Structure 1
């Protein structure tokens, strides 16, 4: 196979959901791209072409130039058909917006994720962590850690913040798994894009009803803040309101569950790191960052060039799309010593799993706190843990991580 063919196939992996289920193959291809073609053109299958950006420094450069590289009109990698369907529905989340509109909409939820708010939520995070570790004890000595623990702990956290009643949590989890897992045979709803779009539409219908209820009877939760928000004195449109709910509800728990399950998997596969962390709980903040780097739940975002731009001697033309491969950047040899080593003492840790710049993840502080609270509760009680079967990843090109992690354990 020629070098050009090898590079082309490595780039094509970024548009192959199943490539993300085989991390060895994926990272081998991304390592090859970083070394030989860090800015490479990908034209494959049902996707509009794009430039694959695989180096940490280049992604940071593009993120800083948010006036040149915009989120609109193509914020994530989906097929041409899905691009058209989302445009027809009119989805308008924070990831679809650019400044100044993005700045105004981001401000609606910003106060709920600032340090003062996080301090108030810490007790809830700790309480839920204890509940779910206790559930592990009751369910033991074996469980599917992803489906029985990791997906539910952050789900309860973000739904409580939004004010969604507990009887609706299961529906919210199902819709989220269907949306982010619409390339995964286990999670997708049907084989047609029309069937798969129904999960999004059902979630939108749910939040339309919640908006009406919060406007009629405001409450002290983030859901009410979104429902009653105004921009320049005008209330949000229906599609803007439900889009805001959807991004907070879906991204607010799916990404964190991926970090927790991926972190657990890494600790099992690296017992020396587990022992180190159990011996020195003061390492937990560093360990949390390493878990998030290691899993990188958000695999990519897309940007569109608004003018010609030269990157590493490659001309990106106005109108071209670029794919920012965070999963590649977080293994960049120029940034991380031994990037393929899971190290709970890694410091500094310049991962960009939360993005960078104006689009830095709104819920990053909450995600960090949840991962910290969970493992702070679990590890002092964990006497032993091992895999009882293969870890399985979600097929996705956007958000995802493990979908099954069968384990045997002993807990105090």
Structure 2
């Protein structure tokens, strides 16, 4: 490949792209991405000291991210980690896992052909046809959740009382985890995805150094593995119709799943299956609280609800990035990429690309088409996208039935996280119907 000068980001911008605190300050972050999309849509990000983090390409345009998402032969999930990590965290993961940069082995870390073999194990479970069979159960959970909100009102933190526990309860029921164990699952998930946010990582400490954050995540992984090892034994002895039984008794290429892959499967379903939906749900409620007319419109016309759900997922973009490794010399957006280069597909930037979404910062429930990238695309598209949409639709149907009006009762706050992000607090004041 011919030598080409790399368009390097200045140190301040490079820092903003990887700083968890940047993702808590939403509008300034979007300002940064707007500028980069125009000036350097494929930009080289490196630290002053290579020991801080490995260099990578930041990709911010929708069309480039979409192409990369669908080209799973050129842009791989291995050998480098699929989530941005500091060098110290990568080395810790390698020591923890026995050589892999992935602390957890799961669907999001596999490449073909193993990825599809593992995906097929539970894929039917998450299809609309099968999910229709549990709609009544999800609605019961939604009704109980909204009742708790009403009982606690008229002022509540919607995140703490509704958007966090509701999808957790749904996915744990699907997985087969007893309700009494759900608080433990919530804590472990927050430790894994809370990152640098002192309110979410359950550390009791502020301004944690990266090595401590990594150890918190590793501890959560070990706790998850210990819990699911016990659950596996139970589901093998007495299999039922839940997802945990499917995973515990799964066979790939004539062999049961090894312990690392099995635990990774549990963790991705348990953790990713609720944190992301929680963020989208809170995002939808924030948009509606900021626009009382839109709340009144959807309350009168439920056909608008599908658009609200889809726009909330785009507007919020809970999974903020994934990383890929170039399998060969290639190009992205006219920029030469060398084999082995690490690349960040930034979904926040892509989902706010004005070339695809008119007035992208506006919450527009009537946006059509709305081909956002919040669920990814191609072979690695989110396995639980139908469940997420169903959960949100049912919850808002119940909310619209039971709540007359809503408004903000304080300043919402976003989490400090480069990977999975969204609101961590949403103070609301409401009137019951």
Question: TM-score band (shorter)?
Answer: over 0.9
Would you say how many aligned residue pairs link Structure 1 and Structure 2?
A: 409
CA distance in 1, matches of 2:344, 2:258: 30
Structural mapping, 1:2-17, within 5 Å: 9-17=12-20
Q: 1:76 aligns with which of 83, 101, 125?
A: 83
2: CA distance between counterparts of 1:57 and 1:290? 19
Give the C-alpha shift of residue 331 in structure 1: 0.7
Find 1:41's aligned residue among 35, 39, 44. Answer: 44
Partner Cα separation in structure 2 for residue 88 and residue 216 of structure 1 = 33
Query: Deviations 1:349-372 (Å, cap 9, x if unpaired)?
Result: 011100000000000000000011
Cα distance in structure 2, aligned partners of 1:108 and 1:6: 42
Instruction: Give 3-state SS (helix, strand or coil) of 1:403's partner.
Output: strand
Distance 1:56 1:219, change over 3 A: same
Change (3 A) 1:401 1:205: same
Compute the displacement of 1:384 (Å). Answer: 2.0
- Alignment partner of 1:96: what SS? coil
Superposition deviation, residue 316 in structure 1: 0.9
1:256-296: per-residue Cα shift (whole Å, max 9, x none)?
00010111011112223223222321111111100100100
Matched residues in 2 for 1:100 and 1:346: separation? 36
Matches within 5 A, 1:247-258: 247-258=268-279
Contact 1:277 1:344 in 2 (8 A): no
Q: Say if 2:65 is the partner of 1:59.
A: yes
Cα deviation 1:111-142 (Å, max 9, x = unaligned) = 11012111112112221111111111111111
- Matched-pair contact (CA < 8 Å) for 1:386–1:407: yes
The residue number in structure 2 matching 1:185 is 198
TM-score (norm 2): 0.91
Determine the C-alpha separation between the residues in 2 that align with 1:378 and 1:24.
28
Deviates more, 1:112-121 or 1:298-307: 112-121
| Bigger mean CA offset, 383-392 vs 397-406 | 383-392
Contact 1:71 1:96 in 2 (8 A): yes
Distance, in Å, in 1 between the alignment partners of 2:121 and 2:220 is: 25
Q: Which moved more, 1:377-386 or 1:242-251?
A: 377-386
* Cα shift at 1:87: 3.0
Task: Give the superposition deviation at 1:7.
Answer: 5.7
Alpha-carbon distance between aligned partners in 2 of 1:328 and 1:164, rounded to the nearest angstrom: 36
Match of 1:298 in 2: 319
Structure 1 pair 7/120, CA: closer, same or farther in 2 (3 Å)? farther
Cα gap change, 1:371/1:383 in structure 2, threshold over 3 Å: closer, same or farther? same
Q: Is the 2:153–2:430 Cα contact (8 Å) retained in structure 1?
A: yes
Moved more, 299-308 or 191-200: 191-200
Gaps of 5+ in 2: 1-6, 98-103
Q: For residues 220-235 of structure 1, what are the structure 2 equivalents within 5 Å?
A: 220-235=241-256
Q: Distance in 1 between matches of 2:331 and 2:265?
A: 34
Q: Alpha carbons of 1:8 and 1:33: their partners in 2 closer, same or farther (altered >3 Å)? A: farther
SS state at 1:52 partner? strand
- Is structure 2 residue 162 aligned with structure 1 residue 156? no
TM (norm. structure 1) is 0.96
Q: Deviations over 1:364-384 (max 9, x none)?
A: 000000011111111233222
Rounded Cα–Cα distance in structure 2 between residues aligned with 1:7 and 1:34: 15
How far, CA to CA, are the matches of 1:14 and 1:8 in structure 2?
Answer: 10
RMSD over equivalenced CA pairs, Å: 1.5
Aligned partner of 2:338 in structure 1 is 317
The offset of 1:8, in angstroms, is 5.2
Between 51-60 and 192-201, the greater mean CA deviation after superposition: 192-201
Task: Select the residue among 12, 26, 31 that pairs with 1:28.
Answer: 31
Matched, 1:166 2:166: no
- Cα deviation, 1:182-235, whole Å, max 9, x if unaligned, reads 211222236413244211211111111111221122122100100000101100
Structure 1 residue 6: Cα displacement? 7.5
Give the structure 2 partner of residue 356 of structure 1.
Answer: 377
Matches within 5 A, 1:245-394: 245-394=266-415
